[in-house]
Amino acid sequence: MIQDKTMEEWIQSFPKIKDLINYEETTWFNNQLVNTDEALAHASLSERDILDAEARLKRFAPYIAHVFPETIEHAGIIESPLTKLEHMPKLLNTPIDGPMFLKQDNLLAISGSIKARGGIYEVLTFAEKIALEKGMITVEDDYKKFDSNEFKSVFSKYELVCGSTGNLGLSIGIMAAKLGFKVVIHMSQDARLWKKDLLRSKGVRVIEHEDDYSKAVDQGRLDSQKQSNSYFIDDENSKTLFLGYAVAAIRLKAQLQQENIHISLDNPLNVYLPCGVGGGPGGISFGLKVIFKDAVNCYFAEPTHSPCMLLGMMTGYHDGISVQEFGLDNETAADGLAVGRPSGFVGQLLEHAVKGVYTVSDQNMFKLLTQIYDSEGIKLEPSALVGIVGPIKTKEKGVHLAWATGGNMVPDEVYQEYYDLGKSI
Ligand SMILES: *Cc1c(COP(=O)(O)O)cnc(C)c1O
């Protein structure tokens, strides 16, 4: 029994569960979709919150440029390029209606994944709060001040904790260590060894768990609660993290204008976002919906072994059910998406705004990984590929945008293994 229902009853109510439990690629269209104003009418967050987050990132830009020289070129604003895919769409074997772009978060500075948006933003927010409360800074000051022994010695009395499949830990770990915080990252079993090693080399304490991501988060939360001066970054529930992701929408709007792409109801933007627990794709979708309203269609994409958001949204049970309860193993090479239970906060906030969710097999991820390298010279990690097949799965018309969520930090020898595997398929 899962939530008082037998499997037969579940399948009777939601026939797609049959495909899901057989690990078959599935596309679900949200029959609860309503127009954007209505969908977000009761949301606990608004456009003002996104603008506030953007302003905070601007205040920190001089500091970021100062301590991460690779960001000087963009004056300390961490943003990824928008790249038109010229060759890849032809390899998909199905004609696509409209141009296709890749949002290259694989190239994001500092940590090479989508987590450089939410994770770094939440660490900065926490640091600013302490500095403001202690009267060490005002919002008009030059934030380069954060790079000083005085600030670091204050921050060294605080500990930041999170649970992660890998990339969130990297973003939070790198940023928090730079500011002088103590950092503890609880890693799930699927977290890659190189991610743990990299963090340890930065002085971060990495705690490994035999269990999956949800358990790593639970343990991190519990440990953190026991300590005063310990702050837990909650990937499942954090509104701060969510707003860090949402800022991407403002930046994307400017990039589309630069490309002379006009988004309208007649020429909608279709965005395909890899989804783990939901914070990243959820935050970005929220931002996009606030800006483009009904002219944007947001789809989430998950591995066939971890379709937690699809199950949660389709059934309306959100974080009340997990893929494991339905007999799925939650084992996938897409480590960033290996999540068995979705964020209830994100699922509920967007249950009338996300247009659909589809799943992709690991086999197809690897095939796409090799194809996009051969055709466009772009290096992505497996999680980052699931957006690419969005136009085929959804049959949307308009402008297509696959969100490539990570890849830049993958060591060459690990990437080579991925590539060879894709080539052999
Ligand atoms: C974390 C992650 C995602 C998904 O973000 P969630 O907030 O977990 O939904 C997608 N791709 C990569 C590479 C990630 O690390």
| CB distance 221 to ligand 1 below 6 Å | no
The answer to whether residue 56 sits within a structural domain is no
Q: Contact at 8 Å (CB) between 304 and 270?
A: no
| Ligand 1 midpoint to CA 6 (Å) | 31
317/417 same-domain check: yes
**Dmax (CA) of the chain:** 62
Question: In which region does residue 418 sit, left (phi positive, over 0), alpha (psi from -120 to 50) or beta (all else)?
Answer: alpha
Residue 189 has pLDDT above 90, yes or no: no
Q: For 23-171, where are the E strands, in sequence order?
A: 27-29, 82-84, 100-104, 159-164
Distance from C-alpha of 402 to C-alpha of 425, rounded to nearest angstrom: 22
Domains in the chain: how many in total? 2
Measure Cα distances from 258 to 78, 255, 261, 357 in Å.
18, 5, 8, 29
| Ligand 1 midpoint to CA 405 (Å) | 7
The answer to whether residue 55 sits within a structural domain is no
| CB distance 406 to ligand 1 below 6 Å | yes
The answer to whether residue 399 sits within a structural domain is yes
- Position 93 confidence tier, pLDDT thresholds 50, 70, 90: confident
| CB distance 115 to ligand 1 below 6 Å | yes
Distance from C-alpha of 84 to C-alpha of 373, rounded to nearest angstrom: 14
Structure-token pair, residue 407 = 């890849």
Q: What mean pLDDT is reported for the chain?
A: 96
204/147 same-domain check: yes
The answer to whether residue 187 sits within a structural domain is yes
| CB distance 128 to ligand 1 below 6 Å | no
User: Residue 118: which CATH number?
Assistant: 3.40.50.1100
199/173 same-domain check: yes
Q: Contact at 8 Å (CB) between 373 and 379?
A: yes
Ligand 1: atom nearest CA of 279 is 7
Residue 214 has pLDDT above 90, yes or no: no
Structure-token pair, residue 395 = 């049959």
This prediction has a pTM of: 0.97
| CB distance 280 to ligand 1 below 6 Å | yes
Kindly state the DSSP code that residue 45 receives in the 8-state scheme. Answer: -
Structure-token pair, residue 269 = 């933007």
**What pLDDT does 166 receive?**
87
- 18-71 per-position pLDDT tens digit: 999 999 999 999 999 999 999 999 999 999 999 999 999 999 999 999 999 999
The answer to whether residue 284 sits within a structural domain is yes
Distance from C-alpha of 190 to C-alpha of 369, rounded to nearest angstrom: 19
Distance from C-alpha of 335 to C-alpha of 331, rounded to nearest angstrom: 8
Residue 259 has pLDDT above 90, yes or no: yes
Which SS3 state, helix, strand or coil, does residue 97 take? coil
Distance from C-alpha of 249 to C-alpha of 262, rounded to nearest angstrom: 15
Sign of the C-alpha dihedral, residues 286, 290, 292, 293? positive
| Ligand 1 midpoint to CA 333 (Å) | 13
| CB distance 383 to ligand 1 below 6 Å | yes
124/93 same-domain check: no
175/297 same-domain check: no
275/394 same-domain check: yes
**What pLDDT does 211 receive?**
82
Domain that holds residue 284: 7-45+78-110+245-424
Would you call 109 exposed, middle or buried from its count of C-beta atoms within 10 A (0-12, 13-18, 19+)?
A: buried
271/323 same-domain check: yes
| Ligand 1 midpoint to CA 225 (Å) | 25
11/92 same-domain check: yes
**What pLDDT does 191 receive?**
83
- 321-358 per-position pLDDT tens digit: 999 999 999 999 999 999 999 999 999 999 999 999 99
